[in-house]
Amino acid sequence: MHKKLIAAAIGALLSASAQAGFVAIDTFDIGDQSIVLNAIGATDTQTNAQRTLTATVDSSTVPPVASTATVVGGILDVTNGTGEISTVTVGWNLAAGIVPAGATGLQFLFTVLESDQNATSIEFTLDGTQVFSAAIPGGTVNDDVAFGIADNLLDAGGFLELTLTGSSGWDLALDSIGLNFIDPETPNPTVPEPISLALVGLGLAGIAGVRRCKA
């Protein structure tokens, strides 16, 4: 969660009428994965306790094929060689109760660390139903993106899936995916809630820190 999103979370925490909550869906800091594909039509899936990562080479016009999808060092990184188009999906099983009953203002957050000059498309689905899609312009750097969903959509949990693809040769790096919400319970103002202290501490550390850059 980067500086603009941290500032928004702290602002909500300071509200007298509501308490902000945050759930990290995936910071990409654990569960390293690496997929390397060298042929048109090649595909691979890797699953661990954090996520399911799949990559497929859809087409290539300039041999040799060299398409990769990795999760290393807190970054989801996708690269394609000249003339290559791949599709990459990342999936997470979200448990029921991931947010408190009655929570409002549900908003997914993610950060585009860097895209090359090729256009990229991004889509999120929940149990197969689209909840967000957008085009990521070529040359995007350090862009925080947020989108809201219906307040009751995660009551039963579900399978959240991110799909990435783009124009020929596309590259993209993402950093952190999370969920912001407003807890229906207003804390006692004289007794800070643990999550409030954690978010304020994270905010101060994040504002003072240096944003990670794509290697």
Q: Distance between CA atoms of 193 and 196, rounded to whole angstroms? A: 5
3 has pLDDT over 90: no
β 75-79/67-72 pair status: antiparallel
Cβ-based neighbours of 208, under 8 Å, separated by 6 or more: none
71 has pLDDT over 80: yes
Q: What is the identity of the amino acid at 212?
A: R
Cβ-based neighbours of 146, under 8 Å, separated by 6 or more: 5, 107, 108, 109, 180
Q: Distance between CA atoms of 68 and 41, rounded to whole angstroms? A: 14
Mean pLDDT, rounded, for 63-83? 96
186 has pLDDT over 80: no
User: Omega of the bond prior to 64 within 30 degrees of 0, cis?
Assistant: yes
For the stretch 84-113, pLDDT in tens is 999 999 999 999 999 988 999 999 999 999
Cβ atoms within 10 Å of 16's Cβ, excluding its own: 6
18 — pLDDT class (breaks 50, 70, 90) = low
198 has pLDDT over 90: no
- Helices within 37-157 (DSSP H only): none
- Percent of the chain exceeding pLDDT 70 equals 78
72 has pLDDT over 90: yes
Q: Which residue has the higher pLDDT, 35 or 18?
A: 35
**6, 207 contact by CB (below 8 A):** yes
Q: Which CATH number fits domain 25-179: 3.30.1330, 2.40.128, 1.25.40, 2.60.120?
A: 2.60.120
Mean pLDDT, rounded, for 59-76? 96
Q: Distance between CA atoms of 17 and 183, rounded to whole angstroms? A: 10
Residues 176, 37, 138, 214, CA torsion sign = positive
20 has pLDDT over 90: no
- Percent of the chain exceeding pLDDT 90 equals 73
Q: Which residue has the higher pLDDT, 148 or 206?
A: 148
